[in-house]
Structure 1
Amino acid sequence: MALSMASLSCKGLKMAPGNQSIAPFPSGSVAGSGFVLSVPLKLRSKFSVSLKVQGAPSPTAIEGGNSDTNTVPVPKVIIDQDSDPDATIVEITFGDRLGALLDTMSALKNLGLNVVKANVYLDASGKHNKFNITKASTGRKIDDPELLEAIRLTIINNMIEYHPESSSQLAMGATFGIEPPAEEVDVDIATHVNVYDDGPDRSLLVVETADRPGLLVDLVKIITDINIEVQSGEFDTEGLLAKAKFHVSYRGKPLIKALQQVLANSLRYFLRRPSTEEASY
């Protein structure tokens, strides 16, 4: 499954002063080269919900996501393109603070998506909310990186709105939240890029770097600009960091060592912090 690149053009977007990155709100369209993805106002609302408890501790042990109720848990948003061939799986974790997430599901539907299944399970790290989502127009999983990034930023915006305490734990809090993180992650230190063999026809690219709006789209653009195909993968937002795993190939084959080095160098170059105020990448 190749990921297509397109430009993002949404109405009702929230933008920080002086920052050209955007975070989507529930209305608008995604406009690309030769196509426009409209956002329908009325979408299918039926979905199944299941609840599982996997070795969960007592409620008092995870109140607020931690035995110390003054400690804010680390928010996590995982976008999984690998586990289900027919749907994109989104997992949201924020200790035990998220509740039913009905507003989040509504916001996803307003992006032109169907929530076809919801699954909630509890373990020692808190409550995990999983949604299987598809495009309303096709009934299939999402393969557009701009729409995947819109999903990610919509969820993070929603989290910050209903849980303002999460703002200080998220890199996005510096852009969209009421309380920015106490410490910024040094991009030069945080960025790690590795490429591994992953079978006869693809390689596995693993990237860890400081999170920011638009990062998922930028990663895919950097990769595809050097003619490497992104087949599928997983993108995790964990507090201030973003962790991506992409299955990639070159002309249907794994990346040779020389191309792996080119890819790693390109990503490190574009993700690193400019060394001077005049520097621009």
Structure 2
Amino acid sequence: MAEMTVTVAAAKSTLRTCPGARRAAVLGRWMPLAPAAPANLKLFSPAVRVPRATSPAAVEQDGSNTDIVPIPKVIIDQDSDPDATIVEITLGDRLGDLLDTMSALKNLGLNVVKASVCLDSTGKHIKFAITRAFTGRKIDDPELLEAVRLTIINNMIQYHPESSSQLAMGATFGPEAPTEEVDVDIATHIDIYDDGPERSLLVVETADRPGLLVDLVKIISDISINVQSGEFDTEGLLAKAKFHVSYRGRTLTEALQQVLCNSLRYFLRRPTTEDASF
């Protein structure tokens, strides 16, 4: 498995705020959190251990009885902060403080170094910055990034079981699988744009499933394309990835773009990952 090397040359060290001129008051500012003791981490491909919530009985009840369940969103951002991986979680106004999720991330050998909460017209957004405990740096391993994603989604389902039917991962972790099944051929969109003289921007949207982040990075690396940084969003049944990529320090040529698109499309239509591995 090729590791994803993250090299952000000029990223800002501050997080973006919630959009909208009329967003509601910020409920919490960035607060330093006490570092956790380093934990032993062993992740071997393709298996990923996902820590579970320790107390499902502590589910937040705010808004959980409404008829319309909002689309859950989990954003893993490698671009916004040069020193930490930024995670943003949204589930309408239903999310609690996610203390159990932070504890589960510490069990993966990570430190939650900053956290904030804000509220806008789309709901409550919880953001936190995480680093590897033994290096103090952002996560550069795609397997660990996928473990973070699955841990957050699993805990969301544990505490908010109504979200299970809205998440593709509900069929794997949740009590209720989604009633809607996404057609991979229709849902999959792949675009590549030039992003300066030294890199290109790869945008992939497709049906979500366990292990997708790891597999995308692997198929890109297998054709000798370097993944520099990116963002991976989980939005209900879909996953949306944005990767800054390059080939020998340059943007991708049209021929290489076509090779990459064909490889990704072929793989996404015929995934080889075994669900039992997760």
Q: Same fold (TM over 0.5)?
A: yes
* 2:50 matches 1:24: yes
Q: How large is the RMSD of aligned CA atoms in angstroms?
A: 2.0
Ranked by relative contact order (alpha carbons within 8 Å, sequence separation 6 or more), the top structure is: 2
2:258 maps to a residue whose letter is Q
Once the 2 structures are TM-superposed, how far is the Cα of residue 258 of structure 1 from its aligned partner?
A: 0.5
Once the 2 structures are TM-superposed, how far is the Cα of residue 176 of structure 1 from its aligned partner?
A: 1.2
1:25 maps to a residue whose letter is P
* 2:84 matches 1:87: yes
> How do 1:1-20 and structure 2 match up within 5 A?
3=4, 8-9=43-44
Q: Match of 2:17?
A: none
Stretches of 4+ aligned residues off by more than 4 angstroms: 20-23
Deviations, residues 151-190 of structure 1 (Å, cap 9, x unaligned): 0000001001111001000000011110000111011111
Q: Match of 2:161?
A: 164
Unaligned 5+ segments in structure 1 are 11-19, 27-62, 275-281
In 2 relative to 1, CA 216–93 (structure 1 residues): closer, same or farther, beyond 3 Å?
same
In 2 relative to 1, CA 119–244 (structure 1 residues): closer, same or farther, beyond 3 Å?
same
The one of 71, 93, 100 equivalent to 1:96 is: 93
Aligned length: 225
1:176 maps to a residue whose letter is F
> How do 1:141-220 and structure 2 match up within 5 A?
141-220=138-217
Contact 2:48–2:143, Cα closer than 8 Å, also in 1: no
Contact 1:64–1:73, Cα closer than 8 Å, also in 2: no
Counterpart-to-counterpart distance in 2, 1:215 and 1:70: 31
* 2:135 matches 1:134: no
1:171 maps to a residue whose letter is A
* 2:238 matches 1:241: yes
**Matched residue SS, 2:50:** coil
In 2 relative to 1, CA 191–267 (structure 1 residues): closer, same or farther, beyond 3 Å?
same
Q: Match of 1:229?
A: 226
What is the identity percentage for the equivalent residue pairs of Structure 1 and Structure 2? 79
Unaligned 5+ segments in structure 2 are 6-41, 53-61, 272-278
Counterpart-to-counterpart distance in 2, 1:79 and 1:233: 9
Q: TM-score, normalised by structure 1?
A: 0.76
Q: Match of 2:118?
A: 121
Once the 2 structures are TM-superposed, how far is the Cα of residue 24 of structure 1 from its aligned partner?
A: 1.2
